[in-house]
Amino acid sequence: MAKLVILGAGIAGHTAALHAHRKLRGRHELVVVTPNRKWNWIPSNIWVGVGFMGVDDVTFDLAPVYRKLGIPLYQARATTLYPEGSDDQPLPHVEISYTDPERAGQTEKLTYDYLINATGPKLNFAATPGLGPAGHSHSVCTFDHAAETFSRLEACIQRMERGERQTLVVGTGHGTCTCQGAAFEYLFNVEYLLQRRGVRDRADLVWISNEMELGDFGMGGMHIKRGGYITHSRIFAESLYTERGVRWITKAGVKEVQDGHFHYETLDGQSHEQAFDFAMLLPPFSGTGLSAINRRGENITATVFAPNGFMKVDADYSGKPYEQWDPGDWPETYQNPDYPNLFAVGIAFAPPHAISKPAQSAKGTPIFPTPPRTGMPSGVMARQVALNIADLMTGKAEQPTRKSSMARMGAACIASAGAGMLRGSAVSMTVYPIIPDFKTYPDTGRSLRYTSGEIGLAGHWIKYLLHFGFLYKAKANPLWQVIPE
Amino acid sequence: MSTRDPYEQSYYPPVPTRLVRWMRTNWLWQFVRFLILNAKMLRMVRKH
């Protein structure tokens, strides 16, 4: 009986666990390690941040689901990988440190035959002094951050109701952030809430981002056919920001957040200051800090992981310049090149490079989005990796056979622009492929047939239905597998 | 939208007409879009 250990039970890790369980049930051992007690449907955190939903609406306890499935669940944080084993344990293993209150701080070594790293990101607030809930800005990256952010927003709205004018800033809190889409959603949900509360005219809304232009979303934006033209998403984004009265600052990297104002640098090397009464600024991501040790006790973290802490997989990490980027640079099987029984999915795998063209300020500060790899792509690659490993464990294959490169994968994304069943809206986008392929699509890098975007109430209905659909699936309720990733 | 401030950010982008904004929240039209958008997303799912 072989053993698969999955590190992380977020969207990628939990999806991998469900599919691996479906394939391996009873025949091989499956173990899941996660530092969190709850599963969180992260795309709905923006609705917690505006009070449309509560924390209980976007989370559930993992333990009962794993009990139902019969999968051992360790509430612990993985700290060190021993892919070659160690003197006291010759089998490959991972050291974990319990976060379960009953065993907090205790450590244990878990052996494995195969391991999926789906640990997600570390929210690297420390990259920008003063950034984050422990500093002077807010976040919607976790459900508790989002709940706290809503309480601060509510206080801000109450000041506006008393007649005060407020400046609200939403965006990215560092020059190399990703997930601009989440900040975009939060911005327009705040704007919608202010309208509903009748205080919109007392708010100055400001967007700040490390994108070159609006509508980039960390993937160079996208071109779609509309009204007889092939038009870039920048035009549609600028239209929406203008319609909703939001001022925007792009090409900006926040350098330091202080009480009531922050400093930022723009690509031209100029330094600026922006005052705020409320700021929701996303942090950059890094790996969770897993280290790796070989059989001789040597630290091989730099071999297994990229400098940003994400795990190396079957991608091209040669650091080639933008002009030489190729869709083939992106991983297909998410298998570590040095240790074939190690895999990384979701945010935990190290992308070979950005998707948006990199840029540095005149002072040398990198100011460009790092590539998004959350949501639908994250779930799809987790499923494919889990099925590949199941085939390896059951002897159906000797190598991973399913490939799920983001260069041959599409994504459907619903970006909420106001949470209301009758008056709300969302931007509905489909993109194919996620990584531009200028060999196949020489003009825009993507298929104009499969790449689309529009805004309307229907998008909100879909996002709302997806919320319940994915929670149903994550709870492993009957027929969960018919709901796609 | 105001064009009182020429050459500012909000001066240039296209903005939707009242009809377009009404269509964005018209339940009947949005139900049709709902069906079409779901079909588009399912088409994307099938490509994986």
- Provide the residue range defining the domain that includes B16: 9-46
Q: Does B22 map to a domain?
A: yes
Can you give the pLDDT at residue A307?
95
Can you give the pLDDT at residue A53?
97
Q: Does B3 map to a domain?
A: no
In angstroms, how far is the first alpha carbon of chain A from the final one? 29
Closest residue in A to B32 (Cα–Cα)? A458
CA distance A270 to A293: 44
CA distance A224 to A277: 37
Question: Smallest Cα–Cα separation from A69: which of A18, A134, A116?
Answer: A18
- DSSP-derived 3-state class of residue A227: coil
Q: Does B2 map to a domain?
A: no
Cis-peptide into A433, omega within 30 deg = yes
HSE-up (13 A, CA, CB side) for residue A352: 24
And the tokens for A258? 């202080």
Question: Smallest Cα–Cα separation from A55: which of A144, A184, A140, A126?
Answer: A144
Query: Residue A352 in contact with residue A337, Cβ under 8 Å?
Result: no
Query: Residue A217 in contact with residue A408, Cβ under 8 Å?
Result: no
Can you give the pLDDT at residue A197?
97
List of chain A residues whose C-beta atoms are within 8 Å of the C-beta of residue B33: 454, 456, 458
Can you give the pLDDT at residue A267?
97
Closest residue in B to A462 (Cα–Cα)? B34
CA distance A292 to A303: 8
**Residue found by looking up tokens 């919109």 in the block:** A200
How is A330-391 classified by DSSP, letter by letter? S-SS-B-SS-TTEEE-GGGBPPSS-SSPP-B-TTS-B-SPPPP--HHHHHHHHHHHHHHHHH
- Dihedral sign computed on CA atoms, order A35, A36, A39, A42: negative
* Segments of chain A with pLDDT less than 50: none
Q: Does B30 map to a domain?
A: yes
Can you give the pLDDT at residue A392?
97
Q: Does B17 map to a domain?
A: yes
Q: Does B16 map to a domain?
A: yes
Give the start-end residues of each E strand in A294-443: 342-344, 411-416, 426-431
Instruction: Return the number of other C-beta atoms located less than 10 Å from residue A357's C-beta.
Output: 12
And the tokens for A204? 């100055």
And the tokens for A172? 């990215």
How far from chain centre, in Å, is Cα A476?
A: 22
Can you give the pLDDT at residue B36?
96
Q: Report residue A178: phi and psi, to 5°.
A: -125, -170
Question: Smallest Cα–Cα separation from A280: which of A148, A405, A383, A373?
Answer: A148
List of chain B residues whose C-beta atoms are within 8 Å of the C-beta of residue A432: 44, 47
**Residue found by looking up tokens 């982008």 in the block:** B13
Q: Does B4 map to a domain?
A: no
- Dihedral sign computed on CA atoms, order A360, A361, A363, A365: negative
Q: How many domains does chain B have?
A: 1
The one-letter amino acid at A428: S
Can you give the pLDDT at residue A156?
98
Can you give the pLDDT at residue A137?
98
CATH 3.50.50.100 fits A3-123+285-401, yes or no: yes
What is the layout of strands, in order, in the sheet containing A452-456?
A411-416, A426-431, A452-456
The overall average pLDDT reported for chain A is 96
Distance (Å) from the C-alpha of residue A349 to the closest C-alpha of chain B? Answer: 19
Per-residue pLDDT tens over the stretch B1-30: 456 678 889 899 999 999 999 999 999 999
The one-letter amino acid at A154: E
Asked whether the beta carbons of residue A430 and residue B40 sit closer than 8 angstroms, the reply is: yes
Can you give the pLDDT at residue B2?
59
Can you give the pLDDT at residue B3?
61
Can you give the pLDDT at residue B6?
83
Choose from A196, A405, A461, A463 for mutation: most chain B CBs within 10 A: A461
CA distance A36 to A77: 9
Instruction: Return the number of other C-beta atoms located less than 10 Å from residue A106's C-beta.
Output: 11
- ipTM value, please give it: 0.94
List of chain B residues whose C-beta atoms are within 8 Å of the C-beta of residue A411: 44
The one-letter amino acid at A298: E
Can you give the pLDDT at residue A72?
97
Domain ranges in chain A are: 3-123+285-401
Distance (Å) from the C-alpha of residue A142 to the closest C-alpha of chain B? Answer: 27
Can you give the pLDDT at residue B48?
67
